[in-house]
Structure 1
Amino acid sequence: MTTPTPATPLIPLPLTIARALTTAGAALTALSTFLAWTWTKAFPGNLTVTGYPGGLQLLTLTGALLTLIQLLATWNTPGLRWLSPTRSHTPTTYLAAGTLATTWYTLIAISVQLGGLANLEPGGYLAAAAALLTLAGALALPFERRPTHAARTPLPPPRPLPAWAEILIIAAAFALALSVLTYGIGTAYGELFTGFLLLTGFATAALFAAGLITRLSALTHKHRNITVTAAFIAAAAFPLTQDTDEYTLIVVNILIFSTVALGLNVVVGLAGLLDLGYVAFLGVGAYTAALVSGSTASTLHIHFPFWAAVLTGAAASLVFGVVIGAPTLRLRGDYLAIVTLGFGEIFRITVGNLNGESGPSLTNGPNGIPNIPDLAIGNYNFGEKQKLGFITLNPFANYYLLMLLVTVLVVLVFSRAGNSRIGRAWIAIREDETAATAMGINGFRLKLLAFALGATLAGLAGTVQAHVAYTVVPEQYVFAGPVPPNSAFLLAAVILGGMGTITGPLLGAALLYLIPAKLQFLQDYQLLTFGIALILLMRFRPEGIIPNRRQQLEFHEPTTTATPPAPKAEAQTS
């Protein structure tokens, strides 16, 4: 049987004093956000105003209030008990740590950017001390060390709710997620986005520790159709929250990156084939669409309709997947990785040489294919503003909705394939190909099928990417570069998010694209940053951010305790 580690405080103090310190610290932290933290407006967000918070102060205020609310929930406060199904103080500790991280990051950024601690006002010093006091009090609360999911005790059964109330909870959860996502993508400067990431990360850990994610997962599993509908409506409503195309374009590229990562997840996560040149299939789809979509720079001088261009790009990637996979998939491990890496580089060099001088005139060489026209379905032109009743969609909002449909299609294909007989055979090959072959599985044929399916999904996304970017050039399809998607980032998205899952690569791709897009100073240190992230993840969570249940159990052996044998009953003598 599994036994969870008992809850013990990290700082030995009486529980009453710990609660008082946490409450006082959180209240003072919230109060400090209504004071000026600096005297100059040179730091973004205008933290010079007394009377109301602004900029990063809003994040500190949010963290302090969430800490107070969670602490009250652990006291069985009426109306707040549902916020802490586990009745644990661990979420309070996480929220206090997130509040401290956000606050101290803001104050350090002010000191570094403006040239010293002299630029802090008394409100800033009060915020630093109060946030530290909050964390000290939270560390004196009982903290449950739960190293593995398997060691967690089940939650107490929830109070029965009517079906309409459960549906409202699901809708509210997706509405809250949309609001948080919209705020994070719309942050106006890098400091605010960094503070948002810090607080969101600790708040997410608090939600898991409180048991709210587990309760919500049970509701979504119970109302699966309602959940899918609510998720799609929330995703489709994102363009309606944007006034311009600036942030919508970022999300369109995130969807493209996520779709390609999910296609790679078929190859790596299900079949266990390490493909280091996967971005080449994205390039095949993009170049094919650029050649047949009526670009003035196309050497083919043909113009296919939208549906034909998409099918042509996906079919071309399928053919390349079969042609490349047939002679190489008899290799395994590092040898297969080296060959696929070589294929990716060969593709980039080849399209760079098809300029009429070094080779046939097809791709215009390093200049690529510019002036790719906007997609059009009948009279609906994606490059123009469109009105649907009272709703006006900007050009990139049109592409966003198109990519959302493509992403839904890819998710359906992945889920159906993963749960099918072929998907189970892929998993068997991933775990032990020799054993799978001994059980009668044709390993080569199924690996080729996985390779072809992954290539087709990448080519499908590439056809849309070509029209979104309006141009394709060889430098877009490298193994590692400053701008995703590339093979290294795609593989990192799958590993960071969680191999073999659907939401894992989607989340990993979103983070890997969004962070460099919002934090411009990381442009020169992306590989270093993601290398450090991979090392930390392999050390503390090797199964990924959103793990596959099977892999989570493989990476973490449950803590077991031997149960002493029951004493034998003594024989009764008459």
Structure 2
Amino acid sequence: MATTDPQAGTTATTAPAEPLDPTGAPGTLPLPPKAARTLTLAGAVGTFASTMLAWTWTAEFPGDLTYYGSPVDLQTLTLAGSLLTIAFLLAGNGVRGLRWLTPGGRTAPVTLAALGTFGVAWFTAGAIAVVLGGFIHFEPGMWVAVFTSLLTVVGALGLRADEPFDPADPALRDPGPWQRFRHSLKAPAPAAARELPGWAELLTIAVTFGVGLFVFTYGIDTPYGELFIGFLILVGFGATALARAGLSQRLSKLTAKHRNITFTAAFVAAACFPFTQSSDQYTSVAANILIFATVALGLNVVVGLAGLLDLGYVAFLGVGAYAAALVSGSNTSVLGVHFPFWAAVLTGAGASLIFGVVIGAPTLRLHGDYLAIVTLGFGEIFRIGMENLDGSSGPAVTNGANGIANIPDLVIFGFNLGEDHTVLGVELGPFANYYLLMLFFTIIIVTIFRRADRSRIGRAWVAVREDETAARAMGINGFRVKLIAFALGATLAGMAGTVQAHVTSSVTPEQYQFVEVVPPNSAFLLAAVILGGMGTVSGPLIGASLLYLIPAKLQFIGDYQLLLFGLALVLLMRYRPEGLIADRRKKLEFHETGQLDVPTGGPGLSKTEA
């Protein structure tokens, strides 16, 4: 097509715009649509078949991948990824009975599922080569998995994208490979769904949490690091694929419609976890995850709702733990008293509340970085103070660096949590008992958070967080509102600390540092809130679970976990600054909405009118 430049008087020839296919924009790779679909399906079927073959000849590699017709561990993950890829591909092609899988995007979920399967297969190949010492230890099944998983990705990248290229977008006029790849992973908003009967909606919620319990149980029960890494790869890509398919948005609407049912189903599924375990090996990890998660949720009141950067929050957890330990009847406690559990909980929560008010009253008049520095100093003062209350440097209260040890197990209504008990035919160990107790406190803390968030004071917190000057102009007492948030967050942390003291059976100052190898500590708590999503209920719970579970399962990253977490946060801030679970306000704040801040026409005219 020829165009004339009126200034230069020359004629330039430009290529005609590429016609858009009704099914979407061209794929990342120049493949015909039918060939891309055939290649993707053939690769996924081949990957599925490879899991029925032996991947290595020796049982020295963890999992024993030497059997035919009996996939295990990493083979099972690869098999699941290939089935998910096939299901998304058939659903995108309109196969009856599977269309509900892709109410939104059709190509993006196929590509992401293929990448997840490829990641698991190639990671397994690399792990076998490293552990056993070379590719010579591969059996035919491993070579087939490597080749067919790559074939699946090539075919998926040739599928037409869900979203057509926008000629008005300068970044897409001459897109490179990376821009085309990122564009292929975009998916439009899901179409309006047909209204389901009430029983079907409730069944969908119940099944979703049942699947979530199965996935979490599988991940926490992984016996070796290689399998856990493969699990993370598949779950990460699989969850993103479900989101791009539009299923996550559909589920979010159902859970928003049935909030109380969702709340109940979530905690019923969590309560079933100890009954899936045959020992206390992993219930101990789960109990500590709940402690870490509930403390992070308390910090979310301070950081996520009120917008106060608190770098010494773990000190409030320590105040509650020390208060409970002093009245627990331990033979190392200087008080020599033994309160009932309910009184110990009130003591720990009350002590943290008092410390929160005492520390917050003089410091909350500061803002931003100054407030962060002061709270960081308070956290260190608490730790050093507990070390000095040893009878030598100060009064004999906490036994100094030795802490308070031999904290007795809790006895609630004659039920000793430190002993094994048989419930519904399943033997529950001590950590399972404490897990269920901590789950009860999690329900209380989540309920308090939800009620506070929707209350008048919760709206005042959000107003102060967004613009304190404007909030004060509207009649909100900024200092009082922030002090309430600080005190409530401290109280919730102290409540969790009372249970932590009995779970760990000892309390020492080293447990409450700003940065420590083993969480909870202030840095990890803040990272959990940011990673999961500030201002949400499920965000800090998920973020805390990941930050605690990954180091617990991958011991070899102990020396590098701070580096890896820092890198993860940098990538998160670049590609998903609102966190893994974000509320609507954060999505609008961190992502473009397509609305113009300033009209582009003349004065008083919009672009269309101009």
Provide TM-score, normalisation by structure 2.
0.89
Contact conserved, 1:8 with 1:144, CA < 8 A, in 2? no
Of 472, 485, 490, the residue aligned with 2:525 is: 490
1:100 matched to 2:118? yes
Paired position in structure 2 for 1:142? 160
Q: Which moved more, 1:160-169 or 1:425-434?
A: 160-169
Of 100, 104, 108, the residue aligned with 1:90 is: 108
Q: Which letter maps to 2:146? A: A
- Tell me the distance in 2 between the aligned counterparts of 1:456 and 1:75: 54
Deviations 1:90-144 (A, max 9, x none): 1000000000011111111111122222222222111111100000000011234
Offset of 1:198 from its aligned partner? 0.3
- Tell me the distance in 2 between the aligned counterparts of 1:482 and 1:254: 15
- Tell me the distance in 2 between the aligned counterparts of 1:560 and 1:18: 36
- Tell me the distance in 2 between the aligned counterparts of 1:160 and 1:328: 52
Of 2, 5, 14, the residue aligned with 2:32 is: 14
- Tell me the distance in 1 between the aligned counterparts of 2:487 and 2:594: 41
Paired position in structure 2 for 1:572? none
Three-state SS of the structure 1 residue aligned to 2:422 is strand
Relative to structure 1, the CA distance from residue 361 to residue 379 in structure 2 (aligned partners, 3 Å threshold; closer, same or farther) is: same
Paired position in structure 1 for 2:314? 279
Of 383, 405, 419, the residue aligned with 2:440 is: 405
Relative to structure 1, the CA distance from residue 84 to residue 321 in structure 2 (aligned partners, 3 Å threshold; closer, same or farther) is: same
List gaps (5 residues or longer) in structure 1: 568-574
1:43 matched to 2:58? no
Offset of 1:409 from its aligned partner? 0.8
Paired position in structure 1 for 2:16? none
1:490-509 to 2 correspondences below 5 Å = 490-509=525-544
- Tell me the distance in 1 between the aligned counterparts of 2:25 and 2:312: 47
- Tell me the distance in 2 between the aligned counterparts of 1:387 and 1:50: 39
Q: Which letter maps to 1:223? A: H
Offset of 1:392 from its aligned partner? 3.6
Q: Which letter maps to 1:414? A: F
Offset of 1:566 from its aligned partner? 8.4
Paired position in structure 1 for 2:490? 455
Relative to structure 1, the CA distance from residue 299 to residue 219 in structure 2 (aligned partners, 3 Å threshold; closer, same or farther) is: same
Three-state SS of the structure 2 residue aligned to 1:8 is coil
Q: Which moved more, 1:218-227 or 1:70-79?
A: 218-227
Relative to structure 1, the CA distance from residue 438 to residue 184 in structure 2 (aligned partners, 3 Å threshold; closer, same or farther) is: same
Three-state SS of the structure 1 residue aligned to 2:111 is helix
1:341-380 to 2 correspondences below 5 Å = 341-380=376-415
- Tell me the distance in 1 between the aligned counterparts of 2:25 and 2:354: 57
Three-state SS of the structure 2 residue aligned to 1:143 is coil
1:59 matched to 2:95? no
Contact conserved, 1:276 with 1:341, CA < 8 A, in 2? yes
Paired position in structure 1 for 2:287? 252
1:183-198 to 2 correspondences below 5 Å = 183-198=218-233
1:461-476 to 2 correspondences below 5 Å = 461-476=496-511
Paired position in structure 1 for 2:329? 294
Relative to structure 1, the CA distance from residue 505 to residue 316 in structure 2 (aligned partners, 3 Å threshold; closer, same or farther) is: same
- Tell me the distance in 1 between the aligned counterparts of 2:189 and 2:121: 35
1:320 matched to 2:338? no
State the superposition RMSD in angstroms. Answer: 1.9
Give the count of matched residue pairs. 561
Q: Which letter maps to 2:36? A: A
- Tell me the distance in 2 between the aligned counterparts of 1:527 and 1:20: 44
- Tell me the distance in 2 between the aligned counterparts of 1:528 and 1:565: 50
1:523 matched to 2:558? yes
Contact conserved, 1:26 with 1:67, CA < 8 A, in 2? yes
Contact conserved, 1:484 with 1:513, CA < 8 A, in 2? yes
Of 173, 179, 182, the residue aligned with 2:217 is: 182
- Tell me the distance in 2 between the aligned counterparts of 1:87 and 1:261: 34
Three-state SS of the structure 2 residue aligned to 1:546 is coil
Offset of 1:69 from its aligned partner? 1.1
Offset of 1:390 from its aligned partner? 3.9
Q: Which letter maps to 2:570? A: I
Contact conserved, 1:59 with 1:195, CA < 8 A, in 2? yes
Of 563, 571, 584, the residue aligned with 1:536 is: 571
Deviations 1:160-201 (A, max 9, x none): 432222222221111111111110010000100000000000
- Tell me the distance in 2 between the aligned counterparts of 1:228 and 1:534: 29
Three-state SS of the structure 1 residue aligned to 2:349 is helix
- Tell me the distance in 1 between the aligned counterparts of 2:368 and 2:332: 41
Contact conserved, 2:311 with 2:375, CA < 8 A, in 1? yes
Of 251, 256, 260, the residue aligned with 1:221 is: 256
Three-state SS of the structure 1 residue aligned to 2:451 is helix
Q: Which letter maps to 2:407? A: I
Offset of 1:230 from its aligned partner? 1.8
- Tell me the distance in 2 between the aligned counterparts of 1:435 and 1:514: 41
Three-state SS of the structure 2 residue aligned to 1:387 is strand
Offset of 1:153 from its aligned partner? 4.7
Paired position in structure 2 for 1:161? 196
List gaps (5 residues or longer) in structure 2: 1-22, 165-181, 601-605
Three-state SS of the structure 1 residue aligned to 2:282 is helix
Paired position in structure 2 for 1:71? 89
1:416 matched to 2:451? yes
Three-state SS of the structure 1 residue aligned to 2:559 is helix
1:32 matched to 2:50? yes
Of 356, 365, 368, the residue aligned with 1:333 is: 368
Paired position in structure 1 for 2:137? 119
Three-state SS of the structure 2 residue aligned to 1:138 is helix
Q: Which moved more, 1:487-496 or 1:219-228?
A: 219-228
Of 340, 346, 358, the residue aligned with 1:305 is: 340
Paired position in structure 2 for 1:570? none
Contact conserved, 2:187 with 2:245, CA < 8 A, in 1? no
Paired position in structure 2 for 1:571? none
Q: Which letter maps to 2:30? A: P
Provide TM-score, normalisation by structure 1.
0.95
1:441 matched to 2:476? yes
Offset of 1:27 from its aligned partner? 0.7
Q: Which moved more, 1:250-259 or 1:115-124?
A: 115-124
Relative to structure 1, the CA distance from residue 325 to residue 224 in structure 2 (aligned partners, 3 Å threshold; closer, same or farther) is: closer
Contact conserved, 2:326 with 2:334, CA < 8 A, in 1? yes
Paired position in structure 1 for 2:268? 233
1:546-561 to 2 correspondences below 5 Å = 546-560=581-595
Offset of 1:87 from its aligned partner? 5.2
- Tell me the distance in 1 between the aligned counterparts of 2:607 and 2:306: 43
Three-state SS of the structure 1 residue aligned to 2:142 is helix
- Tell me the distance in 2 between the aligned counterparts of 1:338 and 1:165: 52
